[in-house]
A = this chain, B = another copy of it.
């Protein structure tokens, strides 16, 4: 059966480019959705098998809309992630030239990331805000076009039959965005040894040691966190939960035991998936933290409980 996949649209966004770069999108029907909420609600409603949405930008930090959409409402889980370098291009209608550009539209974030290039190459140009980079590109097809050029990614040129006047125009060449593929809960992605697990942790009480308690549950099992953020629960001002990414898969013995420890310590936990890391980086396991160590300890305990001398 053909997979139905949504992405944060419109056509030509970074999200579409990221989705196309994933092997699992081969042969699937890809559909743009105007917002993260619309894309994820479509998955919840069964209209899509999965949706690709941005979750973190190396410059901007976490994408709040995604974190929050995943965290509240019907459960969804992350099953894949991918990171894409942020690469902006200046697009115009065929036949245009750099010299003729007097106005350029793009999303304010993109404008901010290309400000240096614009100042050097398009002095005096008028910057026009758009709802998204792809929307700016699409608007160039209107007649008459409301502005001369758009900053978007190269894929948008293909999608809308536009011309790339300049490529790689972001001021910071190392910026990248991480995207996650989200679906309804089901069988976990197979453990690869280089995995990540995403959780939302709600505390029982806001005391000086609450976060320390949580982190001790991880540290005592030798689990490293790659991201942690306190985020407002939106219920009461000053009431927080923790959004964390950890190194490991729910099927790792050490992660399983830590999860059970958190379950006993936290008021509530939302599991947002175990999935292969985009960078294939395997964690350096400390002594006593491998599955073999856990299996050995379990067998040893069983012997002691049986009354065998050990």
Contacts and interface: CB of A to CB of B under 8 A. Distances in A.
Interface of A: 35, 58-62, 64-65, 67-68, 74-75, 83, 108, 112, 129-131, 135, 172, 174, 176, 184-188, 204, 206-209, 211-212, 215-220, 222-232, 234, 237-238, 240, 242, 250-251, 256-257, 259-261, 263-265, 271, 279, 281, 286-289, 293-294, 296-298, 300-301, 304-310
B307 A234 contact: no
B308 A185 contact: yes
Contacts of A309: 74-75, 184-185
A251 B305 CA distance: 7
Consensus secondary structure, chain A interface: mixed
How many copies of this chain are found per oligomer?
4
B238 A287 contact: no
Given A176-B237, A212-B215, A263-B296, A307 B228 contact: no
A261 B225 contact: no
Given A35-B112, A224-B207, A237-B174, A264 B304 contact: no
A252 to B, nearest CB: 11
A185 B308 CA distance: 6
A260 B298 CA distance: 6
Given A228-B230, A294-B264, A209 B219 contact: yes
A200 to B, nearest CB: 12
Contact of A307 (B188, B242, B263, B297): B188
Closest 4 CB pairs of A and B: A264-B288, A260-B297, A75-B309, A263-B297
Contacts of A212: 212, 215-216, 218-219
